[in-house]
Amino acid sequence: MTPERYAKILRVLHRRQPTLTVLMDQVNKPHNLSAIIRTCDAVGVLEAHAVPPDDGRPLEFEGHAFEATSGSAHKWVRVQRHADAVGAVRGLQARGFQVLATHLSQRSVDYRDADYTRPTCVLLGAEKWGVNDAAAEAADANIVIPMYGMVQSLNVSVAAATILFEAQRQRLAAGMYAAPQLSPDELRNRAFEWAYPDLSAACRERNEPYPLLDDTGQLPA
């Protein structure tokens, strides 16, 4: 671990947004999952959520299946698995998130009219059929991206990027990237996990605390 690499890890973590997330409901194509997670990383999402396909296929990211455990993680964005979308929506709402479903209904509003400075989860549906009706009804609001062409739908990863960068715009204007939103303990733990993924996994397996790093990201002698 070089000091420069560790400094970049800290800069990125200082801008992470734990109150912004996505819930992917049975999004099953690896390239779409990959694109959504990359967008999450780009806008500062700390943790994403996913309901795997109900046909038994695993979640896959860039050709690699997610682990079957509920807390599987990509390198920079942790992905939390859920058994069903409605249960996931209720759980996120219980944590204080407003859930905005990308779904056309009588109560749909322009996605730009939502307040993304609030704790927000964007609910995205599967490629063919979108968000299921029960999950859309359980959500706090339904949002749509206005379109004026012959086709009235976007690829799910494109829709995710469109909405998440609007969330980023609002949060930048509100100064939410200017100061860390993670607690000092969480910031320190995430920095260790990013800097030393294999060692952090070994520590968790043995139920041991992470070693304290020095200011340049080096392990204690």
Pick from 167, 174, 23: nearest CA to 93: 23
Instruction: Say whether 96 counts as a known binding-site residue.
Output: no
What 196-204 contacts at long range (C-beta under 8 Å, 24+ apart), as own/partner pairs, is 196/1, 197/75
Instruction: Say whether 125 counts as a known binding-site residue.
Output: yes
Instruction: Say whether 9 counts as a known binding-site residue.
Output: no
Instruction: Say whether 126 counts as a known binding-site residue.
Output: yes
Contact, 60 vs 53, CB < 8 A? no
Instruction: Say whether 76 counts as a known binding-site residue.
Output: no
Instruction: Say whether 39 counts as a known binding-site residue.
Output: no
Partners of 221 in the β-ladder: none
3 state SS for 42-92: HHCECEEEEECCCCCCCCEECCEECCCCCCCECCCCEEEECCCHHHHHHHH
* Binding-site entries: 102, 125-129, 145, 154
* Binding-site entries for S-adenosyl-L-methionine: 102, 125-129, 145, 154
